[in-house]
Amino acid sequence: MFEVLVYVYENYWRGDACPESGQLGRKLSAQGFDPQEIREALHWLDGLSLATQGIQLTRHADGTSATVSLEGPTALPQSPGSMRVYSRAEQEHLGAECLGFISFLESSGVLPAGLREIVVERAMATTDDTLELDELKIIVLMVHWSTGIEPDALVLDELCDDTVHRVAH
């Protein structure tokens, strides 16, 4: 499924530029992707589309952070001193490495609370037993892609770069 998501990310500049599911499925099939992977990815993308509906992004004047607000009477903003506590199922599915990366993105101002919840929800919607860090990075990219939010260049590098072969200077 993640190979399909990477293909979609690389070939459609934003979520609203992506064709509807039927047409996208045919294009993915023509590219040679496995039908089961296509079905899983399309189902996952439909869930992402539903999760990101009604998101409003407000960039702060400093340009380094953003506030995500959700429309509707049940959407409450996160209090400044609040802390996200992950359920046992989330801890087991995401693992320490992924949870640490989410925390890093949050503290960097890259992943506001509203987007974090979408990332966690979409990560929990994957079928793997334990999510790998590279898979989480794809999910973060896809959430940004779906909302039309362009990540900072350094963050984009962190999300896309192969850190195994990175040379420290």
First to last CA, the chain: 35
CB 5 within 8 A of CB 43: no
In 3D space, the residue among 126, 156, 124, 98 whose CA is nearest the CA of residue 40 turns out to be 126
CB 36 within 8 A of CB 103: no
d(CA 144, CA 18): 14
| For range 117-133, the mean pLDDT | 91
pTM of the model as a whole: 0.80
7: pLDDT strictly greater than 70: yes
| For range 41-64, the mean pLDDT | 75
Q: What is the SS3 string spanning 45-56?
A: HHHHHHHHCCEE
Amino acid making up residue 55: I
| For range 107-131, the mean pLDDT | 90
- What is the overall mean pLDDT for the chain? 82
Q: What is the tens place of the pLDDT at every residue in 129-150?
A: 889 999 999 999 999 888 887 7
In 3D space, the residue among 150, 146, 149 whose CA is nearest the CA of residue 53 turns out to be 146
In 3D space, the residue among 121, 127, 134 whose CA is nearest the CA of residue 163 turns out to be 134
Q: Identify the pLDDT of residue 2.
A: 92
Residue count (the chain): 169
73: pLDDT strictly greater than 90: no
Q: What is the tens place of the pLDDT at every residue in 81-107?
A: 778 899 999 999 999 999 999 999 998
Between 94 and 75, the higher pLDDT residue = 94
Q: Identify the pLDDT of residue 87.
A: 95
Other CB atoms within a 10 A radius of the CB of residue 154 amount to: 10
DSSP bridge pairs for 70: 55
Q: Where are the domains of the chain?
A: 2-70+84-165
Amino acid making up residue 162: D
Other CB atoms within a 10 A radius of the CB of residue 63 amount to: 8
